[in-house]
Chain A
Amino acid sequence: MNQRIRHLTVALIVLFAVLFIQLTTWQVVRRDDLVADARNNRVSLREFDTRRGPIVTADGTVVAATEPVDPATNTSRFGYQRVYPKGDLYAHVTGHYTLGFGRTQIERVHNDVLMGKTPQQQLEGAGDLFSRADTSGSVHLTVDSRIQQAAKDALGKREGSVVVMNPTTGAVLAMYSNPSYDPNLVASHNGNSVNTVMTELQADARKPLLANAYQERYMPGSTMKIVTTAVGFETGFLTMERVFANEREWLPPNTTKPIRNYGQRECGGDMLEVFRRSCNIPFAQAAVEIGPSVMVDGANRFGFDERVPFDLPGAAASTFGGLAKDFDDSLALLAIHGFGQGGVQVTPLHMTMIASSVANGGRMMKPFVVEQTRTQSGTPISTTSPSVWKTPMSPATATTLTALMKEVVRNGTATCCFRLANGVVGAAKTGTAQLNPEGEPERSHAWITAFAPADAPTVAITVFIKGVDDEVSASTGGRLAGPVAAKVLNTALSVVK
């Protein structure tokens, strides 16, 4: 019998070996899949029950924090509740922290810092090995609460966005998109109500969960003329001495459809004249003269068709609407793109970066909203140092464009509605992007992108108002977006100094 018993023992040990192999499969080989599975809420369950650090604006306003749950009034199984004291004002910056729908934006990108899980924080808490020290860190924004509030107030009920930036660093001073949403409603511990709210938000055609300031892109209209002009000056196709014919309409090559100016007006003159009045035909002609390959190359130097290196997730790339070879056989299309119509699409954030590059002597900085992350004791974990992303133009071209944009404010499309307080002189370019095909009801986006003070810029701004109704569509970028930009700039200039 001993031989059988030995065989049996071997057989049983083989069974245990099978168990070991399968155990390794689940715990090591397929671990990442299982941990990443959306249905696996192990990690979030545990994290939900710990203190999470705050997100704070540049001027010290707390925009996300955790509060202990009062067991007397709340039957939640968790000890802490994430709260967003400013409601929907910072939703697209902070994102949200939910049990069933994950994390977004800063709550996602800087989760480790907020939870105290970076090596530096773990080390700082290591002295307190057995009491599970609170190592949660904080995230400090470049956003200033006064400017952010001003942006929301100035935009009012209109759909669109306001982006304010320090042109010399790329630091975002304010960024507000409407529609927004209240992250408190999805951070709740009440699973049913969160489900309902989330379902509504996801079904909302206005896409409140997406920040239209940087996660959506829109036809830029005449604000695009900054790019066309810069490319023209950089490549020598345009000079200040250039004079364009006074025309009502112009037929580009290989097409039967003429290009017209805004409002079918006759428009022309020297460079300063056509820029301040925002004639369309001269820029269409300029784009065709410059030609597809140089024009596309120039747009790419501004960062078109490339992901913007923003420190928030999901930033959309602006697009020039085609490759050089796409325009070779359809110069008419290139002509239209030259004044920001057709397939050109830009995010309001990127438009602010374009204006900022003019204000910053031709250097386009990487945009960022997080100034610094810190440990519980305040020691910096990471600090964002400003860096150049693109250099789309020379300082000389930047100076020229500044002069052109000053003229838009002094005596052009923005003059009506873009007056800054305390006699500060700004520089701007307006845009009215026509969305409807000819013959259909008017629909247009209103844009303005600007910076101030024009001669020593400290703040750049873009206001974008979406063309969703007649009020917006009947007006122009200057009339509609100009006053919003002026209000916000006044606040920003008083804050920044």
Chain B
Amino acid sequence: MADHSVARMRRGTELGLVLLSGAITASAYVLASLGEESSMPARIVPFMLFVLSLVGVAHIAVRFVARGADPLLLPTAAFLHGLGYVMIARLSDRWAGLQATWSLVGIAGFVATLLVVERTGDLRRYQYTSLAAGVGLLLLPMVPGVGFTSGGARIWVNIGPINFQPGEFAKILLAIFFAAYLAERRDLLWKEGKRVFGVQIPEMRHLAPILVAWGASVVVMVGQRDLGSSLLFFTLFVVMVWVATERTSFLVGGVVLFAGGAFVAYQLFSHVRTRVDIWLNPWDQYTGRGYQPIQALFSLANGGMTGTGLGLGEPGAVPAAHNDFIFAALGEELGLLGATAILSAFVLLVGAGMRTALRAQRDFEKLLATGLTTIVAVQTFIIVGGVLRVVPLTGVTLPFMSYGGSSLVANYVLLALLIRMSDSTARGLHEVPDSPSVTERVATWRLQRAAR
């Protein structure tokens, strides 16, 4: 049977890598300050303690409640988070202060998720709750008095002193719903139902929830003008249905639906046409809407192969450099080499997520891990591709790196779920001892006391 050696090895690896990300973050912070102010940062010791305690707490939480998990997930996220924070701090002290608070909340969310979700199967029970909550959160910004528009997209909610983007959390909830729903009915979706022109059409009652979710993504695009999130949701649905049913026709159907939707949206909505026009002809409107994307290209070019060095570039010349365009800022100061390292870290994160999905023993976990990893990968592609003009620019955040509380916290929750599933699989495969969870220990203790 399993002993503790695998768990010890994995946590040892994780500790080493987490300390390395912390060291990289601290060095980058010092270099940025030297580059910008020609002096050591004033608060380097508190900063290092802060970084160390954040990654330390996260690591210790994993060590205690998810000891069998993949050791790459947390350090990779910490590396991206750290570099992103250094860039935000280098751009503005004000954002840096807020982002530091959000980092704290993010790690708290990470630990809380690990503690609350003890067994992945727990989530499965909340299938329709997730759907309702997910759709509800998605639509919340459109409720008058609560939602508001910022930067052209109505994706914000204001409750009391806190502003946040509920869509960031909705995508996780919808992934949970889809994973649960599809794990349950993946066979029914295509085995029952009529054949039309040789193509299997699923029965309406099985299809209905999926259409609801698809409808939600259309609502997001039309009602909230958030093209990036809409594309992200839609890709998530299509990919999960395709993986679950193993029917290529769903993939083809999804692509056709997307193409049709994109065409109709282009015809109907001026903000879609504007986005495409900026993408294709930014140079013609340099003094207008093309200014930001072109400044981003100037930033990247200024960085070149090796970058200007942290604190030595002019990333502030790009509007919203701390947010949607943080990749341009990183590309300028770290160069092609640094930007490639960042892209590689994302590939590593996606790879670790997909490995979790592949190793998972239950359909629900497989699908959820696939869905969550797809969210990270596609969101990264949408925003980095937008900055690099591979696709039209649509404002989504770069996971773990961009400024923004909702995004950071949501991504840490997502990461915690991946780690939870990875750990659960390791227990299932008997790589690590399947020791009881905290709740289970409490329950056992109660039973024993009752028995005495």
Are A and B physically bound partners?
yes
Q: Please state if B336 and A28 are interface contacts (CB–CB under 8 Å).
A: yes
CB of A411 closer than 8 Å to a CB of B: no
CB of A43 closer than 8 Å to a CB of B: yes
For residue B169, which residues in chain A have a CB less than 8 angstroms away from its CB?
Answer: none
For residue B299, which residues in chain A have a CB less than 8 angstroms away from its CB?
Answer: 42
Please tell me the number of chain B residues within 8 Å of chain A, measured between CB atoms.
50
The residues in A between 32 and 62 inclusive whose CB is less than 8 angstroms from any CB of B are 33-35, 37, 39-43, 45-46
When chains A and B are docked, how far (Å) is the Cα of A177 from the Cα of B107? 69
Please tell me the number of chain A residues within 8 Å of chain B, measured between CB atoms.
37
Which residue among A16, A30, A33, A41 has the maximum number of chain B CB atoms within 10 Å of its CB?
A16
Given contacts A9-B351, A130-B34, contact A19 B302 (CB under 8 A): no
CB of B331 closer than 8 Å to a CB of A: yes
| Shortest Cβ-Cβ A-B pairs, 8 listed | A34-B301, A22-B388, A27-B336, A4-B243, A40-B298, A9-B354, A42-B302, A26-B300
B-binding residues in A (CB < 8 A)? 1-6, 8-9, 12-13, 15-16, 18-20, 22-24, 26-28, 30-31, 33-35, 37, 39-43, 45-46, 130-132
For residue B177, which residues in chain A have a CB less than 8 angstroms away from its CB?
Answer: none
For residue A34, which residues in chain B have a CB less than 8 angstroms away from its CB?
Answer: 297-298, 300-301
Given contacts A28-B304, A39-B286, A132-B38, contact A15 B336 (CB under 8 A): no
For residue A132, which residues in chain B have a CB less than 8 angstroms away from its CB?
Answer: 38
Q: Please state if A27 and B363 are interface contacts (CB–CB under 8 Å).
A: no
Q: Please state if A8 and B239 are interface contacts (CB–CB under 8 Å).
A: yes
Q: List 29 A-B contacts (CB under 8 A).
A: A1-B243, A1-B363, A1-B367, A2-B358, A5-B354, A5-B357, A5-B370, A8-B354, A8-B370, A9-B351, A12-B377, A16-B350, A16-B380, A18-B385, A18-B390, A20-B343, A22-B389, A23-B339, A23-B340, A26-B301, A27-B339, A34-B297, A34-B300, A35-B301, A35-B304, A39-B298, A42-B298, A42-B314, A131-B39
The 8 A CB mask of B289-306 against A (1 = contact, 0 = none) is 000001001111111110
Q: Please state if A31 and B317 are interface contacts (CB–CB under 8 Å).
A: no
When chains A and B are docked, how far (Å) is the Cα of A12 from the Cα of B378? 8
CB nearest neighbor in B for A133:
B38
Could you tell me the distance in whole angstroms from the C-beta of B323 to the nearest C-beta in chain A?
19
The answer, among B38, B286, B302, B388, for a CB contact under 8 Å with A131, is B38
When chains A and B are docked, how far (Å) is the Cα of A8 from the Cα of B355? 12
CB of B192 closer than 8 Å to a CB of A: no
The answer, among A5, A13, A16, A28, for a CB contact under 8 Å with B243, is A5
Given contacts A12-B350, A23-B343, contact A30 B302 (CB under 8 A): no
When chains A and B are docked, how far (Å) is the Cα of A20 from the Cα of B381? 11
The answer, among B38, B244, B286, B331, for a CB contact under 8 Å with A130, is B38
Q: Please state if B331 and A27 are interface contacts (CB–CB under 8 Å).
A: yes
CB of B234 closer than 8 Å to a CB of A: no
For residue B300, which residues in chain A have a CB less than 8 angstroms away from its CB?
Answer: 23, 26-27, 34
6 new A-B contacts at CB < 8 Å, known A13-B351, A16-B347 = A12-B381, A15-B385, A34-B297, A39-B286, A39-B298, A46-B312
Q: Please state if A26 and B297 are interface contacts (CB–CB under 8 Å).
A: yes
Q: Please state if B390 and A22 are interface contacts (CB–CB under 8 Å).
A: yes
For residue B303, which residues in chain A have a CB less than 8 angstroms away from its CB?
Answer: 27
For residue B346, which residues in chain A have a CB less than 8 angstroms away from its CB?
Answer: 16
When chains A and B are docked, how far (Å) is the Cα of A31 from the Cα of B303? 9
Q: Please state if B336 and A42 are interface contacts (CB–CB under 8 Å).
A: no
For residue A23, which residues in chain B have a CB less than 8 angstroms away from its CB?
Answer: 300, 331, 336, 339-340, 343, 388
The answer, among B317, B331, B370, B388, for a CB contact under 8 Å with A42, is B317
CB of B47 closer than 8 Å to a CB of A: no
The 8 A CB mask of B346-365 against A (1 = contact, 0 = none) is 11001100100110000100
When chains A and B are docked, how far (Å) is the Cα of A171 from the Cα of B240? 78
